[in-house]
Structure 1
Amino acid sequence: MESTAYTGSTRWDELVVNRIAINEPLQWLSKGWQDMRDAGRYSLAYGAAIVLISALITYLLYVTESQFLLPFLVAGFFLIAPFLGIGLYQMSAHLERGESLKTCNAVEAWKRNHTHISMITGGFLIIMQLWIASNYVLFSLLYEGISPPLDNFFENVFLSEKGRIFTIASIMVGFFFAWWAYMISVITVPILIDRKIDGFTAIRLSVKSVLKNMPAMMLWAFMIVLIVGIGLVTYYIGLLIALPLIGHASWHAYRALVPPS
């Protein structure tokens, strides 16, 4: 496939997506599990790399006494997770075609449509920065200084009256960012590495897939949050399995939602 993507536009009513059953995400998860087993060490190594990066970021937050940002970086993790799985989508594509995984990597996937994948990834990094910045603003409105005292951080943030206000406001802001990010990214990257298509058309296909299959896609969003959330609360160890599972399953979500070109 050529690395330069088609940049033409497709009208909304010309975008074709499939209608799926509400329990379809369970099949994606099953197929994702099978891909993870077939990929073996390649899939687990990919998950391990993300676990190590997550642990390093957390360590740096504690070293710089910025651990008050940790809950919001965890929430922001869900915003960029679709792009962290690019190598996993590529593995599933190779398995689908019966090809070897020895030369399969994220760079290969990125090269297929590097201009538009880079553009979309940059956009979501900006969204994540806006999410973090919004929490800085909320902190500055409720506390003196850049953050609450670290000696009783949990009590100040989550149990005090100010903390409850902050938590409610943060959840509302986070839900706004997360839902829109989910709609425009749920199958965008798999589309871009599989088809000669521009980024805006891929985003619109993703949004239309969600709007046309709202019950099933809400279930899929819940499953993603639950599985990745378990990985996060197990001190990231669970991400070793959770991220590859969701990444491979997301490839099958794309295959189910968008008809063959």
Structure 2
Amino acid sequence: MDKLELTQPAAAAPLRWLALGWRDFARCPKIGLFYGLCFFLMGQALWWVFQTAPEYMLALSAGFLLLGPFLCLGLYDASRTLELGGDANGPSLRSTLTAWKVSKGPMAIFAGMLLIIELLWGRASLVVFAVTFNTMPSDQKLLGDLLRLENIGFLLSYSAVGAIFAGLIFVTSVISVPMILDRQVDAVSAGLTSMRACAQNPGVMLLWGALITLLVLLAMLPWFLGLLVIAPVLGHASWHAYRHLVPPQHAG
């Protein structure tokens, strides 16, 4: 595969991607709400693990980030259908559920690559707990114990580990999955292109990552209900981020 010449979007491009994501959500809300419900249920699982087995919280967060791009496949497919004109009735939920079939080989390989990162993240999070606590704080006063002043070193280390691995997953996958879906390229080429897009547009991609993080955090506040809408909007917006960063293929 020849090296792609990537575009250099304007500094405010992530705001435009969000606007386009909202437009696509409004055009096929049933599909968006279905995938939003999936993210909501993942959020509930995250909260349950935090309450019952907090040492695995960071690992499950990694799994959240791992599943997210692939769960968004249906949203990417819906946005692509809308972009191409699609059927008169718009994209169907059935078609979005089988979007992975056209490039299942590269998708599986890329999923394996992210899974390796996720396993390393989970191991690193357990190490942080192991070197900080002799025993796990009790469930009844878990949050209070973890946020005590003497645990500031743990909180900083835990946050640093999370930031490093979450950043690595973001850089590797931010446009990889929609690119595999759209062009049927191999997983390595897609991952390298995603990393190159981030390296060539650090300010834009940093803003995009910050917006994703902020919006997801806000969506989690009212019992994760915000994910019903924010998650699909971000999924649609990620398709437009890919579209603006990677030039379309020329016919012939």
Other structure's SS at 2:147 match: helix
What is residue 7 of structure 2 aligned with on the other side?
Answer: 18
Identity of aligned residues (%): 33
Contact 1:228 / 1:242 at 8 angstroms: preserved in 2? yes
Question: C-alpha deviations, 1:27-62, integer Å up to 9, x for none?
Answer: 111110000000111111111122124324543664
Query: Is residue 33–residue 232 contact of structure 2 (8 Å, CA) maintained in 1?
Result: yes
Take 2:94 and 2:77, find their aligned partners in 1: how far apart are those partners? 7
Runs of 4+ in structure 1 displaced over 3 angstroms? 56-62, 67-76, 103-107
Residue 241 (1) aligns with residue 229 (2): yes
Of 110, 120, 130, which residue of structure 1 is paired with 2:120? Answer: 130
Residue 210 (structure 1) aligns with: 198
**Two-structure CA RMSD over aligned residues (Å):** 2.0
- Structure 1 segment 30-109 matched on structure 2, within 5 A: 30-56=19-45, 58-59=47-48, 62=51, 65-70=52-57, 73-74=60-61, 77-99=64-86, 100-102=90-92, 104-109=94-99
Gaps of 5+ in 2: none
Gaps in structure 1 of 5+ consecutive residues: 1-8
Please report how far the alpha carbon of residue 103 of structure 1 lies from its aligned counterpart in structure 2 after TM superposition. 5.2
Provide closer, same or farther for how the CA distance between residues 44 and 107 of structure 1 changes in structure 2, counting only shifts above 3 A.
closer
Give per-residue Cα distances to partners, 1:1-26, cap 9 Å, x unaligned: xxxxxxxx54xxx3311011110111
TM-score, normalized by length of structure 2? Answer: 0.90
Check if 1:29 corresponds to 2:18.
Answer: yes
- Residue 113 of structure 1 aligns to which amino acid in structure 2? S
Q: Which residue of 1 aligns with 2:138?
A: 149
Residue matched to 1:6: none
1:169 corresponding residue in structure 2: 157
Does structure 2 conserve the Cα–Cα contact (< 8 Å) formed by 1:48 and 1:240?
yes
The amino acid that maps onto 1:36 is F
Aligned equivalent of 1:117:
107
Residues 74 and 99, structure 2, Cα contact 8 Å, conserved in 1: yes
What is the count of residue pairs matched by the alignment? 246
